[in-house]
Structure 1
Amino acid sequence: MFAQKFAGTGLISLLMGLALTAGAQQKPQLTDPEIASVAVTANQVDIAYARIALQKSHNPDIRNFAETMQRDHQSVIKQATSLVQKLHVTPKDNEVSRSLRNQEQKTSQELRSKTGHAFDQAYISNEVAYHQAVIQTVEDVLIPEAQNADLKGLLQQVLPILKEHLQHAQSIAEKLGAGTN
């Protein structure tokens, strides 16, 4: 339902498209500074969604999940920021990071328009779709494209956390009867 709607939007389509083209002849070419920008932006986006959930939801499962998203994704941003400072690398804005921010604005507006159980279902369905797309992109594009071993290591370290988030979101979605992929 809602997740399927979001799966067709620009953000999810872009991330899935990046992941799918990774195996094709025209593999995306992202530099380490661009990968760093995408990683930080993707985490910032999920923090923004979590803040909306904490403002709007009264469901303890949703609130707990949103608090986890805020805490975990803020931790990843701190690690990434520390790493780029250590490496003397400046994250470079790019088409992917710009698209992530643009889609976040649209998705946030959509989420803010909902209330109650409809909001909870929309939020968690979006989280399932978002984490599926981000995991696929990290596995198929960001890790293979990363040239710096420390950056690649950070991405590999974050992957199990993203998968835990996905499983947690899927569990809540099932509980709420939210349509997911």
Structure 2
Amino acid sequence: MARTYWGAGLALLVLAGCAETQRAADTTVAAAKAQVNPTLSTSDAAFMTTATRGGLAEVEMARLAERNSRSPAVKRFAQTMMRDHGRANQEMLALAQQKQITPPSTMGAEHQATYDSLAQLRGAAFDRAYARAMVQDHEEDLRAFQTEAQEGTDPDVRAFAARHVPVLQEHLRMARQLPQR
């Protein structure tokens, strides 16, 4: 029995590593394909692609939370996600147009998998899973936005990231207060 447990754990670690590698490759390829503006760095274009996918996912998962949640706190959080990420998505679309790149129109495979998993849950089980997903997602988003704000090469993209760091910090604080057990 122990052998099976450790084998399954190892398999999950390997799959997680493969998923992370594939996600990075997918983002870079999407950014390169989307990029028309030769003056925009690949890393800035990749950030824009990742941020757009994340923003789309936040809005869709928040809509799901409005339907599947039992918690008033989770529903309020979801409304905040729709409002704030909806605004950021509009701002990102304008920035993409200005920078002459084609933003993605879907949330991407990783976010879709999370969405699909959450869509199967209702009530308290949904609330816990959604809260955990939002903490993890906002931790990742915050790191990416902070990195872009500090290291981005395009001043407009860097400024977009810097403007949204405080919002993401607040979202992370709020997500950590949601029921996770």
TM range, smaller chain: 0.7 to 0.9
Task: Give 1:83 shift.
Answer: 2.1
Q: Which runs of 5+ in 1 are unaligned?
A: 19-28
Matches within 5 A, 1:41-56: 41-56=53-68
Q: Is 1:112 paired with 2:123? A: no
Residue among 100, 124, 143 paired with 1:89: 100
Is this contact kept in 1: 2:135–2:175, CA < 8 A? yes
Query: Is 2:108 the partner of 1:101?
Result: yes
Larger-Rg structure: 2
Q: Alpha carbon RMSD of aligned pairs, Å?
A: 3.1
Q: Structure 2 matches for 1:1-181, cutoff 5 A?
A: 13=20, 30-85=42-97, 87-91=98-102, 101-140=108-147, 142-172=148-178, 176=179, 178=180
Q: Is the contact made by 1:33 and 1:92 (CA closer than 8 Å) also made in structure 2?
A: no
Residues 11 and 123 (structure 1), Cα distance of their counterparts in 2 relative to 1, 3 Å cut: farther
Return the letter of the residue paired with 1:80: M
Deviation at 1:62, TM superposition (A): 0.6
1:45 to partner: Cα distance: 1.1
Amino acid at match of 2:72: P
Higher relative contact order (CA 8 A, sep 6+): 1
Percent of pairs identical after alignment? 25
TM-score (norm 1): 0.72
Q: Counterpart of 2:35?
A: none
Q: Deviations over 1:21-76 (max 9, x none)?
A: xxxxxxxx734333222221111111111111011113111111001101100100
Q: Which amino acid aligns with 1:138?
A: F
